[in-house]
């Protein structure tokens, strides 16, 4: 039987439209800073989108790892550089064949694939620096494994917007089943034309800043980013308490309207953690700002949690980072637990008394909310095909 002793999230690194430095990112969360949301023109359609874009310069990936040089992996490299000291300690503590990698992504190197296909159409050949492996979903995990010269299990999970939420259950399993002593776990996604125009064709993109749970909401803004954690049994201030996964397979792109699959994932996470609804201090909602997601998630959350749990969606500040959303938003929860404060309160102008009354009432954090000292946080991620995950972390 697997050993169910506590698994910890020892270290965390992130990069997104809010930046990459922990205190600065948390400060922007508290201030509801939307300055990272930028206008982006799609080369494919010349259409403008409001997106959560990483503005800081990213280091190129140099030989002998240049075949991994995609924007997705450069975002990951930034996180690896932030974690250089603990990663060095990790390699000294554990054998390289006992360190695993589990990453979530939905875009991988699609942006580089788009450029390569355009080049092939124009010249009949692919760019010399294009490697087909860049567009494979396995690329983020393979890059980390190669870059850190690891020999343990390394793989990616790609289940659209739940990808880097599901990685925590998979990574925990590697440790509990004695396949690994530590796992580098997280997610990364970068902006690309296929995703932007694909979601636009589904009429899911908002032309303005996304307004989750408002009656005026009109869709998502897409963003990019990465977040990495080091997971192990080594005691730390934040523990992974529970994970719940479900797949209701209601529809290829629309969620089950009553939120049954989402509620099941939340209930399983509570059961896995050995907690009750009253124990959850803060809920990071998936909160995309689409009509169907917010309605079903409101139904799910109100059926599982109590009015004492404050909730918010951070996507108006970063955009929906798709396959990186689960890890990114869990990173916000990780920061919030260290600060014992809710990471984001909806600014007053977000609702202006326009909360969608069709959605069951939630205890949404606003500027007037007095936040309890956070000890336990839950984060939801829901995806196409009814693929749902809920993750619970807490101060140890």
Phi-psi region at 10: left, alpha or beta (left = phi > 0; alpha = psi -120 to 50): alpha
What whole-number distance in Å separates Cα of residue 222 and Cα of residue 54? 12
Does residue 62 sit within a domain? Answer: yes
Q: Hey, how many other C-beta atoms are within 10 angstroms of the C-beta on 320? A: 31
Strand partners of residue 391: 243, 379
Domain extent, residue 63, equals 7-395
- C-alpha torsion sign, points 3, 8, 9, 11: negative
pTM check: above 0.85? yes
Contact 157, 166 (CB under 8 A): yes
Strand partners of residue 382: 388
Does residue 128 sit within a domain? Answer: yes
Run of H or E residues at 282? strand 282-284
Q: How far is CA 194 from the centre of its chain?
A: 19
Does residue 1 sit within a domain? Answer: no
What whole-number distance in Å separates Cα of residue 329 and Cα of residue 379? 7
Strand partners of residue 390: 244, 380
| Catalytic residue from among 11, 68, 286, 350 | 286
Does residue 55 sit within a domain? Answer: yes
Token pair, residue 45, equals 């359609």
Residue 286 is a catalytic residue? yes
Instruction: For residue 242, give the DSSP letter.
Output: E
Does residue 202 sit within a domain? Answer: yes
Tell me what pLDDT residue 342 has.
77
Tell me what pLDDT residue 377 has.
96
Token pair, residue 245, equals 């996964």
Phi-psi region at 366: left, alpha or beta (left = phi > 0; alpha = psi -120 to 50): beta
Residue 350 is a catalytic residue? no
| Catalytic residue from among 161, 180, 192, 333 | 161
Count of the separate structural domains present in the chain:
1
Cα distances from 52 to residues 35, 155, 254, 333, in angstroms, run 9, 27, 23, 19
What whole-number distance in Å separates Cα of residue 275 and Cα of residue 279? 6
Phi-psi region at 385: left, alpha or beta (left = phi > 0; alpha = psi -120 to 50): left
What whole-number distance in Å separates Cα of residue 213 and Cα of residue 385? 22
Three-class DSSP category at 335: helix
Q: Residue 14: which CATH number?
A: 3.40.47.10
Q: What is the pLDDT along the chain (396 residues), one digit of tens a residue?
A: 345 689 999 999 999 999 999 999 999 998 899 999 999 998 888 899 999 999 999 999 999 999 999 999 999 999 999 999 999 999 999 999 999 999 999 999 999 999 999 889 999 999 988 999 999 999 999 999 999 999 999 999 999 999 999 999 999 999 999 999 999 999 999 999 999 999 999 999 999 999 999 999 999 999 999 999 999 999 999 999 999 999 988 888 888 889 999 999 999 999 999 999 999 999 999 999 999 999 999 999 999 999 999 999 999 999 999 999 999 999 999 999 988 777 877 776 677 668 899 999 999 988 777 767 899 999 999 998 889 999 999 999
Does residue 112 sit within a domain? Answer: yes
What whole-number distance in Å separates Cα of residue 25 and Cα of residue 343? 10
Tell me what pLDDT residue 1 has.
35
Burial category of 278 from C-beta neighbours within 10 Å (exposed 0-12, middle 13-18, buried 19 and up):
exposed
| Catalytic residue from among 180, 320, 333, 350 | 320
State how beta strands 238-247 and 387-395 pair.
antiparallel
Does residue 134 sit within a domain? Answer: yes
Does residue 2 sit within a domain? Answer: no
Tell me what pLDDT residue 146 has.
98
């Amino acid at each position: 039987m697997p050993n169910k002793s506590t698994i910890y999230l020892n270290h965390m690194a992130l990069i997104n439209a809010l930046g990459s430095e922990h205190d600065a990112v948390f400060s922007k969360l508290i201030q509801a800073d939307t300055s990272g949301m930028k206008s982006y023109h799609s080369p494919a359609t010349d259409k403008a989108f409001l997106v959560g874009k990483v503005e800081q310069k990213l280091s190129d990936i140099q030989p002998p790892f240049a075949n991994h040089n995609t924007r997705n992996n450069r975002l990951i490299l930034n996180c690896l550089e932030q974690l250089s000291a603990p990663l060095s300690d990790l390699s000294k503590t554990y054998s390289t064949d006992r360190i695993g990698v589990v990453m979530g992504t939905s875009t991988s190197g699609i942006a580089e694939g788009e450029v390569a296909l355009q080049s092939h159409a124009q010249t009949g050949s692919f760019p010399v620096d294009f490697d087909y492996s860049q567009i494979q979903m396995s690329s983020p995990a393979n890059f980390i494994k190669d870059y850190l010269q690891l020999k343990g299990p390394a793989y990616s999970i790609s289940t659209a917007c739940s990808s880097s939420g599901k990685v925590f259950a998979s990574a925990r399993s590697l440790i509990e089943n004695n396949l690994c002593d530590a796992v580098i776990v997280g997610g990364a996604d970068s902006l690309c034309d296929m995703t932007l125009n694909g979601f636009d064709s589904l009429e899911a993109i908002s032309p303005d800043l996304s307004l989750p749970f408002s009656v005026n909401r009109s869709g998502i803004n897409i963003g990019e980013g990465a977040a990495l954690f080091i997971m192990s049994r080594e005691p730390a201030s934040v523990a992974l308490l529970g994970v719940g996964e479900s797949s209701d397979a209601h529809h290829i792109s629309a969620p089950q309207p009553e939120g049954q699959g989402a509620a099941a994932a939340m209930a399983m996470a509570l059961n896995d953690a050995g907690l009750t609804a009253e124990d959850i201090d803060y809920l990071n909602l998936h909160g995309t700002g689409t009509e169907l997601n917010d309605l079903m998630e409101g139904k799910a959350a109100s059926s599982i949690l109590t009015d004492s749990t404050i909730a918010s969606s951070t996507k108006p500040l970063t955009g929906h980072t798709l396959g990186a959303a689960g890890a990114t938003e869990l990173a916000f929860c990780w920061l919030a637990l260290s600060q014992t404060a809710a990471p984001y309160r909806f600014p007053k102008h977000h609702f202006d008394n326009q909360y969608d009354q069709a959605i069951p009432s939630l205890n949404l954090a606003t500027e007037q909310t007095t936040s309890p000292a956070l000890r336990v946080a839950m984060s939801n991620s829901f995806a196409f095909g009814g693929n749902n995950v809920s993750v619970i972390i807490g101060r140890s």
